[in-house]
Homo-oligomer: A and B are copies of this chain.
Amino acid sequence: MSSAQTIRLAVIRGDGIGPEVVDEALKVLHAVLPDDLVVEETPFSLGAARYLETGDILTDDDMAAIAEHDAILLGAVGGDPRDPRLAGGIIERGLLLKLRFAFDHYVNLRPTTVHPAVATPLADPGEVDFVVVREGTEGPYVGNGGAIRTGTPQEIATEVSLNTAFGVERVVRYAFDLAHRRPRRHLTLVHKSNVLVHAGALWQRTVAAVGAEYPDVTVDYQHVDAVTIHMVRDPARFDVIVTDNLFGDIITDLAGAISGGIGLAASGNINPDGTFPSMFEPVHGSAPDIAGQQLADPTAAILSVALLLDHLGRGDLAAAVTGAVESDLADRGTTPRRTAEIGDAIAAAATARTTTA
């Protein structure tokens, strides 16, 4: 009898709808596990609720414990946006961004497909299937800003975007590698090089240099403002998009919206080197207004499990999950289902796919 492989999974259920959608994601994960694969879950109670109770967001001990895992599954974090104790993105920065930066998640992978059966706000989206490779550890997200004379008429506040050849090159290389493995082999660099000339030039030079190693990948460049136009007029044109941390944040929410809703958008915060655990999470937030009512759509969390399986080398199981999601989407009527009902349906479909495979 061969020994089973064990995945040590850190689970951060988080706030709001986070716990509900993670429950369903784990249900589907377990539904596709073959005998030779074991998942050992460690729950980490992190988020706004714990912060408000204890004053801790993410301690060194938490970090050390999470680092011992093979991957992280995160639901959503963040409390009531009107709570002054949570102002300034204290949870987002202290938890989400801290994990992304500390675990060197330099690839933030956000695929977008339009499922034929899902309603989209676009009259005619076409066949949409692209992936945004968002840089995750640099740009305007580095927290390198400040203010003087705060609260006075002489206040000056700055935000600094930091961009390094090291950081840009590795994410651009990842994006080319991905484009090279996809049928259309096309890469679009998105930036604002006509205004942000220093960072823009670094990105453009890097894409030109790395692109020389991928002669089979066609490349184009779009300013971030123009990309929003293409995204609503002709999203089918995109294959792989590589972009900066902030531009990636903006265009992936737009991508989620045109593809039928942020309730379907999954993401992977990936450390391709394998030095640290990668983290998988739905793009949506904690939606405290609908929390605990079984109203949330767990599909994005479930698709994040597919990204996780793919990352851990189990593309076969990932395909079972995405296939199950696709068939569930095709069957969705107009009757609303509870969070757990959607999870049950997808889990059953996923199991069927692994046993018949």
Contacts and interface: CB of A to CB of B under 8 A. Distances in A.
B123 A157 contact: no
Nearest to A86: B194
22 contacts: A89-B195, A93-B195, A120-B123, A121-B124, A122-B123, A122-B232, A150-B202, A152-B165, A153-B166, A154-B166, A156-B164, A157-B198, A158-B160, A159-B161, A159-B196, A161-B161, A192-B249, A224-B250, A229-B253, A229-B257, A231-B254, A232-B258
A195 B141 contact: yes
B159 A199 contact: yes
A209 to B, nearest CB: 10
A88 B156 CA distance: 27
Nearest to A248: B225
Contacts of A123: 120-123
Contacts of A162: 156, 158
Contact of A92 (B92, B146, B194, B246): B194
A107 interface: no
B165 A155 contact: yes
Nearest to A165: B155
A249 B229 CA distance: 12
Contacts of A169: 153
Query: Which of A143, A161, A169, A251 lies at the interface centre, i.e. has the most chain B CB atoms within 10 A of its CB?
Result: A161
A43 interface: no
A123 to B, nearest CB: 5
A116 to B, nearest CB: 15
Given A123-B122, A250-B224, A262-B229, A198 B257 contact: no
A205 to B, nearest CB: 7
B193 A88 contact: yes
Interface residues of A, number: 66
A155 B250 CA distance: 26
Nearest to A229: B257
Interface in A146-183: 146-147, 149-166, 169
Interface of A: 88-89, 92-93, 97, 120-124, 140-141, 143, 145-147, 149-166, 169, 192-202, 205, 224-226, 228-229, 231-233, 246, 249-254, 256-258, 262
Contacts of A196: 140, 145, 159
Contacts of A199: 145, 157-159
Contacts of A150: 201-202
Given A88-B193, A195-B140, A121 B233 contact: yes
Contact of A201 (B88, B97, B152, B193): B88
Contacts of A159: 140, 160-161, 163, 196, 198-199
Nearest to A145: B198
Contacts of A122: 121-123, 232
Given A122-B122, A161-B159, A89 B258 contact: no
B200 A155 contact: no
